[in-house]
Amino acid sequence: MGSLEGRVALVTGSGRGIGATIARTLADSGASICINDIDQKTAESTAAELEATGVQTIAVQADVGDFEQAEQMVKTAIDKFSKIDILVNNAGLTRDRVLMRMPEEDWDLVLRVNLKSAFNCSKAAVRNMMRNRYGRIVNMASVSGVAGNFGQTNYSASKAGLIGFTKALAREVATRNITVNAVAPGYVPTDLTDDMAEEFKEAIKAQIPMGRFGDKQDVANAVAFFASDEASYITGQVLNVDGGMVML
Q: Provide mean pLDDT across the span 110-133.
A: 98
Q: Is pLDDT above 80 for 115?
A: yes
Rounded distance between C-alpha atoms, residue 142 and residue 57, angstroms: 28
Q: pLDDT at position 236, please? A: 98
What residue ranges do the domains of the chain occupy? Answer: 8-240
- DSSP character string of the chain: ----TT-EEEETT-SSHHHHHHHHHHHHTT-EEEEEESSHHHHHHHHHHHHTTT--EEEEE--TTSHHHHHHHHHHHHHHHS---EEEE---------GGG--HHHHHHHHIIIIIHHHHHHHHHHHHHHHHT-EEEEEE--HHHHH--TT-HHHHHHHHHHHHHHHHHHHHHGGGTEEEEEEEE-----GGGTTS-HHHHHHHHTT-TTSS---HHHHHHHHHHHHSGGGTT--S-EEEESTTSS--
Reported confidence tier of residue 106, pLDDT bands at 50, 70, 90 = very high
8-240: which CATH architecture?
3-Layer(aba) Sandwich (3.40)
For residues 143 and 201, the model is more confident at 143
- List pLDDT tens digits, range 175-201: 999 999 999 999 998 766 666 677 777
- List pLDDT tens digits, range 4-28: 999 999 999 999 999 999 999 999 9
Annotated active-site positions, please? 155
Q: pLDDT at position 195, please? A: 63
Q: Is pLDDT above 80 for 125?
A: yes
- List pLDDT tens digits, range 146-166: 999 999 999 999 999 999 999
Q: pLDDT at position 193, please? A: 64
Please give the mean pLDDT across all residues of the chain.
95
